[in-house]
Amino acid sequence: MGFKEDADFARFLSMGVYAAGAVTHDLEQNHGHRIVELDRCAKANKVWQTKIKRMRLPDLMCVDCGRRFESKGKTKLEVKLSDSTLPGRAWRDEGMRPDDVFAFARVNMKTSPVSVSNIVYVTRQGLEDALESSKEGNRKSVSEGSEMDRTWPMWAPDYAGEVVAVDDGLKKVRVTKGTRTYLYGHGKRWAAFHTLAAGTAFEAGRPVAFCFRVADSVACAGEGSWGWKEDLLSADEDIRFPAVKAARFLGTEPVEDILVGMADDEASDWRLRLEAHASLAPTRPASVAALLVLAERADSAAEARMEAVLSLSEIDTEEATEALYSIAGRVESAVPEEVRAAAAWGLGAGARKAPAKLMRLVNDPSVLVATHAAAVMPSYLPQECLDELLDWLRADDPRRAATAAHLLAERDLVAELVNALRTAPEDIRRLIVLALGDASREAVSGLLGRLDAQSRAGIAILWAKDDDWLRQPDTDGIIDALKLQALRR
Ligand SMILES: [Zn+2]
């Protein structure tokens, strides 16, 4: 996949990330849970090509009560899950126990900020009980593993109102609709009929009638209600894994020996071993070292290297930062380019920011590594980084100079760019003018008087783009794209 397709996919993933964020917020603020990610990527939309086959577990978990949550965000609110006839791939096979909760939400990506509304919580058991009323969607080709969608119908009016009366026997619900009332009945097609209670007011888009029972309560059972230490000793990896994850938040000290034993146990699943180190790593440098070895050593699988890097990125210690820097800098080694890029990403987007280290990576010979490092440089640059960028504009190295010019222009540091024009070598001056053309026109306008005639002329030409109707965001390249569709034989 190219980087443009990645950006499109990231936009699609963002919906799930926003939903997971809103569900986390609701579960913590309104229901008393303490939520952590069970799936490391539930709340990040970065697209990586190295695919990591994770444990079959839901996105989120509460470390106090141990309840697991799977959040689903869509542009339209619907209770829909992907399903399959293949063993282990059915809608319920995601490590969801009967009392664990699916959270469905509507995500509106068109508002700013993005809004998430109408969260509907249903336990796995709730969906199981209503299976008869659920509908199979179109089955994709057999080559795709008989993947399909399964929808549990519900009624969500597009107006606000209040439930007036519920008639269970006839499976009907009467609601107010403006100054009148409306009687809704869906009884025949649904095996069971559930509604909001009479007297409940609802806003537009909120489901009023369901073929399933909405979770009665998703309140946290409270601190200490989950025997996570016992779970650590379970023979079942699906039970042990969440307990290992939770240990980091609940305190690893009393279970350190168990975790160390698990990390060293070569008979265990690699993901479990890695997670044991990841939970120990914030307080145990030896585990950081183990994750570093896993990422760098010659015989590691790419997915294990990647997961080691992502877990190191979560740790706010100097050792973890040094480890990421070591991995990122492994030019021409067994460490794949994308793993190096992920390590660079962790130094800017991870738990501990290290802009001075990123400065050593933004000119890496690998375009992938260099661009990842540049993309996560902080928007406010520390003075030492700024000074170094200005040095790059004085030397005759076009690659470094271009990096510096871009980083400065993105931050609208136009006065610095204009000053650099005075001392830059001739070919570097042109790169600086190009960068000034990218900076905000408003910021550059005020400084035009300080430019020599040649640079001013250059910027004037770059700005002419704004007057060219075929170079606007929605028209740039349109004629070439149309010509490609002129084929007729
Ligand atoms: Zn809880």
Q: How far is the CA of 62 from the centre of ligand 1 (A)?
A: 5
Which residue has better confidence, 4 or 332?
Answer: 332
Q: Does residue 277 have a pLDDT over 80?
A: yes
Distance, in Å, from the CA atom of 106 to the CA atom of 120, rounded to the nearest integer, reads: 9
Distance, in Å, from the CA atom of 217 to the CA atom of 215, rounded to the nearest integer, reads: 5
Q: Does residue 1 have a pLDDT over 60?
A: no
Q: Does residue 84 have a pLDDT over 90?
A: no
Average pLDDT value over all residues in the chain = 92
Q: Which helix (H) or strand (E) holds 106?
A: strand 101-108
Q: How far is the CA of 61 from the centre of ligand 1 (A)?
A: 8
Q: How far is the CA of 227 from the centre of ligand 1 (A)?
A: 12
Minimum mean pLDDT range among 160-174, 388-402, 421-435? 160-174
Tokens read off for 353: 């920011």
pLDDT value of residue 170:
75
**Alpha helix positions (H), 130-236:** 228-231
Distance, in Å, from the CA atom of 34 to the CA atom of 61, rounded to the nearest integer, reads: 8
pLDDT class for 451, splitting at 50, 70, 90?
very high
Q: How far is the CA of 225 from the centre of ligand 1 (A)?
A: 8
pLDDT value of residue 73:
93
pLDDT value of residue 143:
58
Q: How far is the CA of 43 from the centre of ligand 1 (A)?
A: 19
pLDDT tens sequence across 127-138? 999 999 999 887
pLDDT tens sequence across 318-333? 999 999 999 999 998 9
Distance, in Å, from the CA atom of 348 to the CA atom of 361, rounded to the nearest integer, reads: 11
pLDDT tens sequence across 27-39? 999 999 999 999 8
Q: How far is the CA of 218 from the centre of ligand 1 (A)?
A: 8
pLDDT class for 461, splitting at 50, 70, 90?
very high
pLDDT value of residue 88:
80
Q: How far is the CA of 7 from the centre of ligand 1 (A)?
A: 35
Please give the average per-residue pLDDT across 443-466, as a whole number.
93
pLDDT value of residue 145:
59
Q: How far is the CA of 264 from the centre of ligand 1 (A)?
A: 30
Minimum mean pLDDT range among 88-92, 99-103, 168-172, 243-247? 168-172
Q: With left for phi above 0 and alpha for psi between -120 and 50, is residue 54 left, alpha or beta? A: beta
> Could you tell me which of 327, 318, 331 has the C-alpha nearest to residue 345?
327
pLDDT value of residue 142:
60
| Tokens 């603020």, located at residue | 29
Integer angstrom CA distances of residue 31 from 38, 78, 96, 121: 19, 22, 19, 12
Q: Are 116 and 76 in contact (CB under 8 A)?
A: no
pLDDT value of residue 457:
94
Q: How far is the CA of 55 from the centre of ligand 1 (A)?
A: 21
pLDDT value of residue 487:
86
pLDDT value of residue 52:
87
pLDDT class for 5, splitting at 50, 70, 90?
confident
Encoded amino acid at 96, one letter: M
Distance, in Å, from the CA atom of 308 to the CA atom of 305, rounded to the nearest integer, reads: 5
pLDDT class for 44, splitting at 50, 70, 90?
confident
Q: How far is the CA of 35 from the centre of ligand 1 (A)?
A: 7
Q: How far is the CA of 117 from the centre of ligand 1 (A)?
A: 21
Which residue has better confidence, 349 or 92?
Answer: 349
Percent of the chain scored above 70 by pLDDT? 98
| Tokens 């299976």, located at residue | 131
What residues does the ion ligand 1 have nearby, CB within 5 Å? 33, 62, 64-65, 220
Q: How far is the CA of 28 from the centre of ligand 1 (A)?
A: 8
Q: How far is the CA of 64 from the centre of ligand 1 (A)?
A: 5
Integer angstrom CA distances of residue 222 from 29, 57, 102, 284, 359: 14, 22, 20, 29, 46
pLDDT tens sequence across 300-317? 999 999 999 999 999 999
pLDDT class for 140, splitting at 50, 70, 90?
low
Q: Does residue 147 have a pLDDT over 90?
A: no
Q: Which residues pair with 27 in a beta bridge?
A: none
Q: Does residue 242 have a pLDDT over 90?
A: yes
Q: How far is the CA of 32 from the centre of ligand 1 (A)?
A: 6
Say how far residue 321 (Cα) sits from the centre of its chain.
21
Q: How far is the CA of 120 from the centre of ligand 1 (A)?
A: 17
pLDDT value of residue 141:
62
Q: How far is the CA of 465 from the centre of ligand 1 (A)?
A: 55
SS3 343: helix
Integer angstrom CA distances of residue 413 from 379, 390, 470: 11, 11, 29
Please give the average per-residue pLDDT across 457-471, as a whole number.
93
Please give the average per-residue pLDDT across 286-293, as a whole number.
98
| Tokens 């279970």, located at residue | 255
